[in-house]
Amino acid sequence: MRAVVQRVSSASVTVAGEVVGSIEGPGLLVLLGVTHSDGPAQVAWTARKVWETRLFPDERSASEIGAPVLVVSQFTLYGDARKGRRPTWAAAAPGPVSEPLYEAVCEELARLGAHVERGVFAADMQVALVNDGPVTLVLDT
Protein backbone atom coordinates (compact mmCIF):
# COMPACT_ATOMS: atom_id res chain seq x y z
CA MET A 1 0.00 0.00 0.00
CA ARG A 2 1.26 3.46 -0.84
CA ALA A 3 -0.09 6.68 0.62
CA VAL A 4 0.92 10.18 -0.34
CA VAL A 5 -0.03 12.28 2.67
CA GLN A 6 -0.24 16.06 2.36
CA ARG A 7 -0.87 18.51 5.18
CA VAL A 8 -3.49 20.89 3.83
CA SER A 9 -5.35 24.06 4.71
CA SER A 10 -8.23 22.79 2.59
CA ALA A 11 -8.93 20.07 0.05
CA SER A 12 -11.85 18.86 -2.02
CA VAL A 13 -12.82 16.26 -4.59
CA THR A 14 -15.24 17.03 -7.40
CA VAL A 15 -16.93 14.43 -9.62
CA ALA A 16 -19.08 15.47 -12.58
CA GLY A 17 -19.20 19.06 -11.31
CA GLU A 18 -20.33 18.09 -7.78
CA VAL A 19 -18.15 18.30 -4.68
CA VAL A 20 -18.29 14.83 -3.15
CA GLY A 21 -15.78 15.30 -0.34
CA SER A 22 -14.08 18.28 1.25
CA ILE A 23 -12.17 19.29 4.35
CA GLU A 24 -11.18 22.59 5.84
CA GLY A 25 -7.86 22.46 7.60
CA PRO A 26 -5.70 21.97 9.16
CA GLY A 27 -6.14 18.49 7.79
CA LEU A 28 -4.67 15.73 5.66
CA LEU A 29 -5.23 14.76 2.04
CA VAL A 30 -4.32 11.12 1.46
CA LEU A 31 -3.85 9.75 -2.05
CA LEU A 32 -4.02 5.96 -1.62
CA GLY A 33 -2.75 3.25 -3.94
CA VAL A 34 -3.18 -0.50 -3.42
CA THR A 35 -0.98 -3.26 -4.80
CA HIS A 36 -1.61 -7.00 -5.21
CA SER A 37 -0.03 -8.15 -1.95
CA ASP A 38 -1.92 -5.74 0.31
CA GLY A 39 -4.32 -6.96 2.96
CA PRO A 40 -5.60 -6.25 6.47
CA ALA A 41 -2.12 -5.72 7.96
CA GLN A 42 -1.35 -2.96 5.45
CA VAL A 43 -4.75 -1.38 6.06
CA ALA A 44 -4.15 -1.16 9.81
CA TRP A 45 -0.57 0.07 9.46
CA THR A 46 -1.43 2.75 6.89
CA ALA A 47 -4.42 4.11 8.81
CA ARG A 48 -2.45 4.24 12.06
CA LYS A 49 0.53 5.96 10.40
CA VAL A 50 -1.67 8.57 8.72
CA TRP A 51 -3.51 9.28 11.96
CA GLU A 52 -0.51 9.28 14.32
CA THR A 53 2.43 10.70 12.33
CA ARG A 54 3.46 14.12 13.61
CA LEU A 55 3.00 16.38 10.59
CA PHE A 56 1.52 19.45 12.27
CA PRO A 57 3.20 22.34 14.12
CA ASP A 58 4.62 21.60 17.56
CA GLU A 59 5.14 17.97 16.48
CA ARG A 60 1.48 17.11 16.75
CA SER A 61 -0.39 14.46 14.80
CA ALA A 62 -3.81 14.51 13.19
CA SER A 63 -5.04 12.44 16.12
CA GLU A 64 -3.80 15.02 18.62
CA ILE A 65 -5.50 17.98 16.94
CA GLY A 66 -8.57 16.20 15.55
CA ALA A 67 -7.63 17.01 11.96
CA PRO A 68 -10.03 15.84 9.23
CA VAL A 69 -8.76 13.45 6.56
CA LEU A 70 -9.77 13.33 2.88
CA VAL A 71 -8.88 9.97 1.30
CA VAL A 72 -8.73 9.60 -2.49
CA SER A 73 -8.06 6.31 -4.28
CA GLN A 74 -5.25 6.62 -6.80
CA PHE A 75 -4.04 3.53 -8.64
CA THR A 76 -1.54 5.65 -10.57
CA LEU A 77 0.70 5.72 -7.49
CA TYR A 78 1.80 2.28 -8.67
CA GLY A 79 2.55 3.43 -12.22
CA ASP A 80 5.93 2.49 -13.63
CA ALA A 81 7.37 4.66 -16.41
CA ARG A 82 10.96 3.38 -16.40
CA LYS A 83 10.60 1.82 -19.86
CA GLY A 84 9.34 3.68 -22.90
CA ARG A 85 6.87 6.55 -22.80
CA ARG A 86 3.75 4.70 -21.68
CA PRO A 87 3.52 3.82 -17.97
CA THR A 88 2.42 0.38 -16.93
CA TRP A 89 -0.08 -0.08 -14.13
CA ALA A 90 0.70 -3.77 -13.55
CA ALA A 91 1.69 -3.21 -9.91
CA ALA A 92 -1.69 -1.64 -9.07
CA ALA A 93 -4.29 -4.05 -7.74
CA PRO A 94 -7.48 -4.29 -9.83
CA GLY A 95 -10.68 -2.64 -8.60
CA PRO A 96 -12.25 -5.76 -7.04
CA VAL A 97 -9.14 -6.10 -4.85
CA SER A 98 -8.32 -2.47 -4.20
CA GLU A 99 -11.78 -0.99 -3.56
CA PRO A 100 -12.48 -3.01 -0.40
CA LEU A 101 -9.01 -2.17 0.93
CA TYR A 102 -9.48 1.53 0.17
CA GLU A 103 -12.81 1.41 2.02
CA ALA A 104 -11.17 -0.47 4.90
CA VAL A 105 -8.52 2.25 5.30
CA CYS A 106 -11.27 4.88 5.45
CA GLU A 107 -13.21 2.82 7.99
CA GLU A 108 -10.11 2.19 10.12
CA LEU A 109 -9.30 5.92 10.17
CA ALA A 110 -12.86 6.60 11.32
CA ARG A 111 -12.58 3.87 13.96
CA LEU A 112 -9.40 5.56 15.23
CA GLY A 113 -11.36 8.81 15.61
CA ALA A 114 -10.83 10.69 12.35
CA HIS A 115 -13.50 12.64 10.53
CA VAL A 116 -13.07 11.03 7.09
CA GLU A 117 -14.19 12.42 3.75
CA ARG A 118 -13.76 10.38 0.56
CA GLY A 119 -13.42 10.61 -3.14
CA VAL A 120 -15.40 8.24 -5.38
CA PHE A 121 -13.58 5.01 -6.17
CA ALA A 122 -12.68 4.67 -9.89
CA ALA A 123 -14.35 7.97 -10.81
CA ASP A 124 -12.78 10.72 -12.88
CA MET A 125 -12.06 13.12 -10.01
CA GLN A 126 -10.74 16.64 -9.80
CA VAL A 127 -8.77 17.10 -6.60
CA ALA A 128 -8.12 20.61 -5.31
CA LEU A 129 -5.88 21.35 -2.36
CA VAL A 130 -3.89 23.99 -0.59
CA ASN A 131 -0.76 22.24 0.64
CA ASP A 132 0.25 23.71 3.98
CA GLY A 133 3.98 24.05 4.52
CA PRO A 134 4.31 22.43 2.03
CA VAL A 135 4.35 19.11 3.86
CA THR A 136 4.15 15.90 1.81
CA LEU A 137 5.08 12.41 2.97
CA VAL A 138 5.09 9.10 1.11
CA LEU A 139 4.20 6.06 3.22
CA ASP A 140 4.93 2.60 1.80
CA THR A 141 3.96 -0.58 3.60
Residues marked as catalytic: 74-76
| Residue partners of 135: CB distance under 8 A and separation at least 6 | 6, 7, 55
| Residue partners of 122: CB distance under 8 A and separation at least 6 | 73, 95, 99
Among the listed residues 97, 77, 88, the one whose alpha carbon sits nearest the alpha carbon of residue 141: 77
